Each structure stands twice: as structure tokens, then as C-alpha cells.
Amino acid sequence: MRFVTLLSAIAVSSSSWTMMSAAFSSLQTPFVRKASSLSMSASDDSSTITIGIFGGGTVGGGIVGILDKKSDYIKQLTGGKNVKIKSICVRDSKKKRDFDIPEGCTVTTDYDDILNDSSIDVVVEVMGGTTDAKDIIYSAIKKGKAVVTANKALIAAYLPEIQEKLDEMGDDAPEFRYEAAVCGGIPIIRSLQQDFPGDDISMISGIINGCTNYMLTGMDQKGMSYDEVLDEASKLGYAEADPTLDVGGFDARSKLRILMRLAFGVDVDEEDIACDGITDLTKIDFEYAKMMGGTIKLIGVAKTTTDAENVAAFVSPCYVTNSDPLATVNGATNAVEIISSNLQSSTYIGQGAGRYPTANSCINDIVTLASGQKTKQPFNPESKSKKFVQDYDSVFYIRISYRDGLGITRNLGEVCEKFGVSIHSILQNPITSKDDAGFVVITEKVPLSNIKKTCAELEECDWCNGEVFYMPVLREDWVSN
């Protein structure tokens, strides 16, 4: 097994913001710090790479700071290239920043100050959102400016359209780089672009949302309830005021959609990917998980079907054994495991969000561009054979609450038999209250569609008390582990 571990300095949750309109912004006067005699414009010679940044917040400030600190090293690494920030576009140019504006850099609120500046070679988009950011990126591509972005939501929603815009430029298509869009500081995008051309990936799975992993770690190790750990995550800045994107699994789904294209060449509307968050998990589920010798993680999974012809994907809480590589990834840390024919198992672990982890990935893209490296297929070639399917086979964990009565086990067996669900085992903790009476069924490997039908019919039984909860078991060989 191959491990790539990244240690980053700070994990700070960054929030996206919406830019003011150019009509309003043009009324504000940008300010410019006096240029240093060491800075060079792009028009002087080819030894300077000039960039314009959209977004002066958490990540934008990190980019500025790293470029300032590492400028000499970057120059050596790129064969003498100077990387110069010429302009930063922000929502409010008068707002005090928590980083120093580079000398000679203009702070503006007008998009066109960057987009229409022919001396700017690279547009860095770290403003977030999918409206103005999309217009900025499309305009930059049309003008032949290379793009570096951390915008996972935009790429997940418009990936085919972005590829189309690049294709329209033909041989003049600029570079499109997006390492920071998935898992912050983990170099998973570049690895999928460069490290697996001679390999065949069969599965990619990952803990790709730091907020929910922090919460599940608290529920597992501290015995906290969902509400208690969400409150703690909010106070620490891991959870947004509205945590739906995180706890509902939607943030992870956007990242998984991008990883699917890179790993399998499959394009899919992210709305079609099955997505279950962590809101229905309880402390009882972690008690059963410990009884089984494991824990629970919110995992994004994409894998080839049994015949290897198609690809299925889902985001869901999953039971994992304690020996699993993902079981010990705790706190706000992210991890991605790739299963492939040649490399077998490759696991990437590191900080998935925050100022410096995310900015570091943006810097890597900028340095790659300054070094003259190019890729004609930023999303890897599209598969001509594999298709996305919504059904997949797995072992499943099913939790059922019940009202006391006769024939419950018999009725359970009949319903499972009806839909072809074979029961591996039934678990039950001591009952301390009739209101909390419940048990767990572990199935053999079975299609998700069969599980859905089984759970729906069980909910119609008189003895069933409320909705039936189910989640996949990540590995088929979970017992032997």
C-alpha cells in the first residue's frame, strides 16, 4: 500500500462570496502600491508570469503570502521565471485585508481590470460561486488566459461546458488548472492526471469533507450526539451557519463527480449520484459499529460494476473496519484511496480545506504553468465504453426500530426473502427502554435497489417503528478484516 501524507499549517474554513456588479464597481477607484524596482511587467520579456486574482479572502490571501515567501525558490524552480501579482479583484476595495498587498499590485472591484488586461497571463479564481465566477472563467478562456481555480461547485456543475469552451479555442486553448478544487491541499487531481495512464482504476473512495469527518470522529470517540458535535463544529469554524452542503453530503458529491471523470472518464449530472448525509446517524449506530469491530465514515465512492463495464457512485455513511486505511483518518482531515490493477492501493491523506492547504494547491498550479507544462485534457479523456449506473452491489447495515410483538423475526425473514436479500447476521444491544427498542441486520452482498424495496416494505409492517435506516459496508471482505 502506498501512502502520500501532507501536513499543512492551518485549517480554516473559507466561505465563498458574490462579487458586486461591474456597473457599481467601476465607480470605485482602485489603489496601487508603489512598484518595486525588482518587479517586471509581462511586456518586458518572457521571464515574468503575470497573474490576476479574483478573490481577496482566505485563499486569495494565502496565495499572496506563499508567493511572497517562496518567490526566490519559485524563480529557481521555473528556470528564472518571476511570478508577479498585478491585480486583485475584490468585493470591497476599502476593506482591510489580513495580508500585505504586493508592491505594484492594483486592488480593484471591476472584473474587466483583469480580464481586459492583455499583460495578465493567468487568471486565478478563488471567489467561489457559480454565476459571476463562471462568466469570469469563460471570459478568461476566450481571451486566451490560463485559468487556475479552486471552485469545485462550478466544475462539478459545468464540466462538459468548460471542456467545450476549451475545445472551441483549438490549438490556442489556454491551460485550465484546478488542483485546489478537490480536497484542498491533497494533490489528487494531478495524480489522477499523471500517475495512472498505464493503470486501470476499479474504485476510488474517500473522506472528502472535513466538517463531517470532524463530526463523526466526535460521535465515535467521545460518544457525542449529532446535535452536540454539530454545535462544537460550528464554534470551531468547521461548519457553516447553514451546514446543509456538508452534513447532507452535497459538498462531497460535487468532489466525487469530478473524481469520477478523472478516474473513469464518465460524465454524470451530480444530481444523479445517490447522496445520503449524516443527519440520520445516531450514537446507537456507533455502538453497533464498535460491536462489529469498526466505525462509520461519510465516504464518496465510485467503482466499476461486477462486469467492469459500468461505473456506480454514491455518497453515504459507510461502515468500515478498524483495519481499513480510512478508519484512522480523524478530525477535519481528508483522505482518498485509489484501487487499481498495477498499484493496487494508493492512499492520499492531508488537509482538505483552509487558507494554506488550498492556496498551496493553487501555487502548485501556477508554478506548473510558469514551468511551461501543459495538458490538452484537463479532465482526462472521456470513456467511450463505460456508462454511469445508479444501482450497485454491497453488503448493507440496516437499523430497524420496532414495537414489541410476535413474529417479528419471521416477518423480517419473509420480507428479505421476497426481495432477494440474504441475512448475514442480526445484532441487538440490551433494551433499556421500549421506546428505543431496535436491532441491526447485516446483509450479504446485494443490489441497492433490493435494499430500498426491502426497507420500504418493512416500514409498512405493524411492528416497524418509524423509518428504516441503511448504509453500505465499504468492503466486501469486512468479516475477514
Indicate which CATH number applies to the domain containing 317. 3.30.360.10
* Number of structural domains in the chain: 3
Check residue 436 and give its pLDDT: 72
| Same domain as 261, residue 144 | no
Sign for the CA dihedral angle at 294, 447, 251, 227 comes to: negative
pLDDT at 243 over 60: yes
pLDDT one-digit tens code per residue, 203-225: 999 999 999 999 999 999 999 99
| Same domain as 95, residue 31 | yes
- Whether residue 74 lies inside any domain: the answer is yes
Mark out the alpha helices in 236-298 (DSSP H runs).
Answer: 244-247, 250-264, 283-291
- Whether residue 372 lies inside any domain: the answer is no
**Rounded Cα distance, 326 and 220, in Å:** 14
pLDDT at 14 over 80: no
State the average pLDDT over residues 449-473. 96
- Whether residue 264 lies inside any domain: the answer is yes
| Same domain as 203, residue 177 | no
| Same domain as 307, residue 240 | yes
Indicate which CATH number applies to the domain containing 165. 3.40.50.720
| Same domain as 169, residue 37 | yes
In the residue annotation, 387 being an active-site residue is answered as no
Check residue 38 and give its pLDDT: 28
Helix (H) or strand (E) holding 411: helix 408-418
Instruction: Please tell me whether the overall predicted TM-score, pTM, comes out greater than 0.75 for this model.
Output: yes
Indicate which CATH number applies to the domain containing 467. 3.30.70.260
- Whether residue 83 lies inside any domain: the answer is yes
In the block, cell 486505511 appears at 325
pLDDT one-digit tens code per residue, 357-406: 999 999 999 999 999 999 889 999 999 999 999 999 999 999 999 988 89
| Same domain as 329, residue 408 | no
| Same domain as 201, residue 283 | yes
Using alpha carbons, list the distances in angstroms from residue 445 to 70, 389, 428, 450, 454: 52, 17, 21, 11, 14
Name every residue whose Cβ is closer than 8 Å to that of residue 433 and which is 6 or more positions away in sequence: none
In the set 165, 255, 297, 303, the catalytic residue is 255
| Same domain as 201, residue 177 | no
| Same domain as 237, residue 165 | no
Q: Which of 389, 419, 453 is the last residue of a domain?
A: 389
| Same domain as 160, residue 202 | no
- Whether residue 364 lies inside any domain: the answer is no
Q: How confident is the model at residue 3 (pLDDT cuts 50, 70, 90)?
A: very low
Check residue 239 and give its pLDDT: 87
**Rounded Cα distance, 215 and 231, in Å:** 9
Q: Which of 132, 151, 181 is the last residue of a domain?
A: 181
| Same domain as 401, residue 332 | no
Check residue 8 and give its pLDDT: 39
Q: What's the domain range around 286?
A: 197-350+383-389
**Rounded Cα distance, 133 and 194, in Å:** 27
- Whether residue 223 lies inside any domain: the answer is yes
Q: How confident is the model at residue 192 (pLDDT cuts 50, 70, 90)?
A: very high
> Contact at 8 Å (CB) between 121 and 42?
yes
| Same domain as 400, residue 345 | no
